[in-house]
């Protein structure tokens, strides 16, 4: 026997499972190899051991939140036909018992996986694999270490002793004293732990005496303890968590907070998975100064082309009665309603609805996350301070090859008036458009037409129907590098009006007018070869444009004032402009014939000059001022979007002052650090400055803040400042939000455990 073992120590053995015989070859080293080129059985063992290593990640994650990852699927049929390599100091095959024995520095490799053990036995008759000693199974960046491993790849049952698992994706460290696989999708674990901390003494750790997991149902955890630096801080005698790849009914993590206006805040949510295409989330929220706010969101999917959601909330607000001076337009019973729907019919018709309604003007101020879709609101609130209307919209549209039709309904809820009796609604507007078509087959003359019907309605004030017919003819011409486009437009507008004021009678009104003009444009380009930041060339363009437009003066004194279309000012003006761009070209390393492009810079300037002395209220604000404001705009952004800058200016040439100035600068990096500054000035209206920043102060400490400041009246609207302390496996975020109009102070605290989520608000 000794001679046989010495002989095997200097031989390479190749075993073919199909013929079940041994082929022995002499080799120079002292190791012995068993290679199964068609060892379907061996491949099945390795792949299934690797999948078994993922199960602990699943049920430990479930101890703190619902499982969303799929449990490993371990079918016993159809094993893959891949090569398996076994290396050991001593290796032999017992043909009578169908046992493969490997002992001493055992290494099994297959498809990128590697298993090391002191001893391993493969029982082909029982479809079992066993390993002992210092077992280490590696699969790329993940690993399973244990003292004993046994697995039956036919019945899909097995066990692991003293198991330790590392999952690189979320840095999970998992241990289990005894892990049993009871069936295809059922597991038991005794004395288990989970953490994402690298340190030997983990900052936090979850321990559990026993965990039972069954895919498609629920997992049960017993005697779970959450520890900080090995000090127990929370105990759960028994808990149940869903274990399914599908959505599961259950409670979400609660949120806690405090505000001067709201008092103590407790938010919770219950999710109901009705079926595969419908679910409902209920949001009960407690405000100690207001009462209980009930909210809900119903989501549905009718088919692949139709989906939507409906949201609503209600609160009997105690603060309205306690502070009537702050709620002059609000009743105690307050509510919100929102709806989104999108659908494409079989004939190509598109349907879209977006409804947003609230009970009073102060609702969005008190509950800014009403229409944001966020359970816990972040740094920025809905900007209800500057919005004057809440808009609802419904659209139906259909397109053909040369025509399209759109029906639109718009409803506006004023956030300033006590009621909407005088608010003008557009219910509905129907537009039929004929797209550019050649006239009599000519390739130099084209026509198009826009026909529009609008119904303007409100409870108090002037209402009516409007029909607008607008045909246009264009004749594009080429003269070398220049493109010249003369055009002619005709317009007939008819009205049927009611509830007229100021001595104007109900009835019909009409207007007939025309417009004519010409546009001249060209593009000058130059390409520069370069080798910057991955570019091989840079394109610079100059795109000048010159246009003239004429509209005669027509009598419009008896027409209503619904929107801008109801007053068409007399025009005889010329507009000049220039656009300049810098565009980089990036070759594809894999395919040199393919390229990507990025617009690094865009610069625009334009101005209009009128030959008449009549103001139009848009570009020419006063009579006898022939030149419009001088407009400039500059934009630049990095290719990855980490840097962006925009400068915009409108300059009044008569008073030598700026009517509008805006400047926006933002920068960020992959670590999440960012800086954003915005300045906006509108003459006689507002001068605002907004800044947000998140900057690293120390290796583990970030500070952030946000401010909204009105320079015009030296008033701060809102300030937010806080810090985020983030060691390797956990983080603590604290911020203070101070609103000044009206004053409200709130605190936010969030503790997050990497890989598990967060608790607090």
- pLDDT tens readout for residues 319-331: 999 888 888 888 8
Higher pLDDT, 332 or 218: 332
Q: In which residue are the tokens 């130059």 written? A: 526
Check residue 80 and give its pLDDT.
39
59-73, 409-423, 641-655: range with lowest mean pLDDT: 59-73
Report the C-alpha gap between 56 and 407 in whole angstroms. Answer: 56
Check residue 534 and give its pLDDT.
85
Check residue 575 and give its pLDDT.
96
Higher pLDDT, 712 or 350: 350
233-247, 434-448, 493-507: range with lowest mean pLDDT: 233-247
Check residue 358 and give its pLDDT.
93
- Tell whether the model's pLDDT for residue 449 goes beyond 90: yes
* pTM: predicted TM-score of the whole model, two decimal places: 0.65
- Tell whether the model's pLDDT for residue 16 goes beyond 50: no
Confidence of residue 25 (pLDDT cuts 50, 70, 90): very low
DSSP-derived 3-state class of residue 478: strand
Check residue 398 and give its pLDDT.
96
102-116, 238-252, 259-273: range with lowest mean pLDDT: 238-252
- Tell whether the model's pLDDT for residue 18 goes beyond 90: no
- Tell whether the model's pLDDT for residue 722 goes beyond 80: yes
Report the C-alpha gap between 205 and 241 in whole angstroms. Answer: 19
- Tell whether the model's pLDDT for residue 43 goes beyond 80: no
Higher pLDDT, 376 or 646: 646
Report the pLDDT averaged over residues 399-426: 91
Give the max Cα distance, the chain. Answer: 123
- Tell whether the model's pLDDT for residue 252 goes beyond 80: no
Check residue 244 and give its pLDDT.
56
CA quadruple 60, 62, 65, 69: dihedral sign: positive
Cα dihedral 230/234/240/243 (nearest 10): -50
Report pLDDT digits (tens) over 119-137.
999 887 888 889 999 999 8
Tell me how crowded residue 192 is: count the other CB atoms within 10 A of its CB.
24
- Tell whether the model's pLDDT for residue 33 goes beyond 80: no
- Tell whether the model's pLDDT for residue 172 goes beyond 90: no
Helix (H) or strand (E) holding 60: helix 55-62
Report the pLDDT averaged over residues 235-245: 67
Report pLDDT digits (tens) over 298-312.
999 999 899 999 999
Check residue 240 and give its pLDDT.
65
Strands 11-16 and 32-36: parallel
Report the pLDDT averaged over residues 270-294: 91
Higher pLDDT, 729 or 454: 454
CA angle 715, 719, 725 (to 5 degrees): 160
- Tell whether the model's pLDDT for residue 685 goes beyond 80: yes
- The total number of residues shown for the chain amounts to 761
CA quadruple 64, 66, 69, 74: dihedral sign: positive
């Amino acid at each position: 026997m000794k001679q046989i073992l010495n002989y095997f120590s200097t031989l390479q053995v190749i075993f073919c499972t199909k013929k079940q015989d041994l082929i022995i070859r002499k080799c120079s080293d002292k190791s012995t190899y068993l290679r199964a080129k068609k060892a379907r059985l061996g491949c099945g063992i390795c792949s299934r051991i690797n999948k078994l290593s993922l199960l602990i990640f699943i049920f430990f994650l479930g101890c703190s939140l619902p499982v969303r990852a799929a449990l490993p699927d371990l079918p016993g049929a159809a094993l893959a036909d891949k090569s398996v390599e076994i290396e050991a100091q001593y290796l032999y095959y017992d043909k009578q018992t169908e046992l493969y024995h490997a002992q001493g520095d055992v290494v099994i490799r297959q498809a990128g996986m590697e298993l090391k053990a002191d001893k391993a036995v493969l029982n082909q008759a029982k479809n079992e694999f066993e390993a002992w000693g210092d077992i280490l199974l590696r699969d790329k960046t993940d690993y399973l270490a244990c003292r004993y491993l046994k697995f039956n790849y036919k019945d899909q049952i097995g066990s692991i002793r003293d198991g330790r698992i590392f999952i690189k994706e979320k840095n999970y460290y998992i241990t289990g004293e005894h892990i049993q696989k009871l069936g295809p999708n059922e597991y038991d674990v005794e004395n288990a732990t989970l953490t994402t901390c690298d340190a030997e003494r983990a900052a936090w750790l979850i321990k559990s005496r026993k965990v039972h997991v069954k895919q498609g149902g629920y997992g049960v955890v017993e005697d779970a303890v959450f520890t900080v630096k090995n000090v127990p801080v929370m105990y759960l005698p028994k808990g149940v968590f869903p274990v399914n790849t599908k959505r599961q009914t259950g409670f979400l993590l609660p949120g806690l907070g405090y505000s001067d206006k709201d008092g103590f805040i407790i938010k919770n949510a219950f999710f109901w998975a009705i079926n595969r295409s419908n679910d409902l989330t209920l949001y009960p929220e407690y405000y100690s100064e207001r009462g209980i706010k009930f909210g809900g969101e119903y989501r549905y999917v009718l088919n692949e082309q139709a989906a939507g959601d409906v949201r609503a909330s209600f609160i009997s607000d105690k603060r309205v009665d306690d502070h009537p001076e702050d709620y002059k337009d609000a009743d105690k019973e307050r509510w919100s309603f929102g709806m989104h729907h999108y659908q494409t019919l079989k004939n190509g018709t598109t349907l879209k609805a977006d409804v947003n309604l609230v009970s009073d003007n102060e609702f969005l101020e008190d509950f800014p996350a009403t229409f944001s879709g966020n359970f816990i609101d972040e740094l920025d609130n809905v900007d209800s301070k500057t919005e004057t209307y809440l808009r609802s919209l419904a659209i139906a549209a259909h397109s053909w090859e040369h025509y399209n039709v759109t029906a639109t309904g718009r409803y506006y809820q004023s956030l300033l008036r006590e009621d909407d009796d005088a608010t003008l609604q557009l219910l509905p507007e129907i537009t039929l458009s004929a797209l550019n078509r050649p006239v009599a087959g000519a390739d130099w003359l084209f026509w198009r037409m826009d026909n529009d019907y609008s119904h303007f309605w409100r409870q108090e004030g002037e209402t009516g129907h409007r029909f607008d017919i607008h045909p246009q003819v264009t004749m594009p011409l080429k003269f070398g590098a220049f493109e010249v486009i003369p055009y002619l437009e005709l317009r007939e507008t008819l009205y049927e009006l009611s509830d007229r004021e100021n001595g104007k009678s109900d009835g019909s009104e009409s207007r007939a007018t025309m417009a004519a003009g010409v546009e001249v444009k060209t593009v000058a380009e130059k390409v520069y070869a370069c080798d910057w930041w991955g570019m091989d060339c840079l394109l610079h363009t100059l795109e000048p444009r010159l246009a003239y437009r004429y509209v005669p003066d027509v009598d419009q004194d008896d027409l209503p004032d619904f929107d801008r279309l109801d007053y068409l000012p007399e025009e005889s003006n010329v507009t000049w402009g220039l656009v300049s761009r810098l565009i980089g070209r990036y070759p594809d390393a894999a395919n040199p014939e393919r390229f990507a492009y990025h617009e690094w810079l865009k610069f625009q300037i334009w101005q209009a000059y009128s030959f008449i002395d009549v103001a139009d209220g848009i570009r020419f604000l006063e009579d006898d001022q022939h030149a419009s404001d001088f407009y400039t705009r500059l934009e630049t952004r990095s290719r990855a979007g980490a840097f962006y800058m925009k400068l915009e200016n409108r300059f009044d040439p008569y008073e030598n002052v700026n009517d509008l100035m805006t400047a926006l600068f933002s920068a960020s990096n992959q670590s999440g650090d960012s800086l954003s500054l915005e300045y906006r000035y509108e003459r006689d209206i507002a001068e605002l400055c907004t800044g947000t920043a998140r900057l690293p102060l120390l290796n583990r400490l970030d500070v952030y803040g946000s401010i909204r400041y009105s320079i015009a009246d030296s008033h701060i609207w809102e300030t937010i400042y806080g810090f985020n302390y983030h060691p390797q496996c956990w983080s603590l975020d604290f911020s203070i939000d101070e609103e000044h109009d009206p004053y409200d102070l709130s605190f936010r605290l969030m503790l997050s455990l990497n890989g598990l989520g967060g608790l607090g608000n």
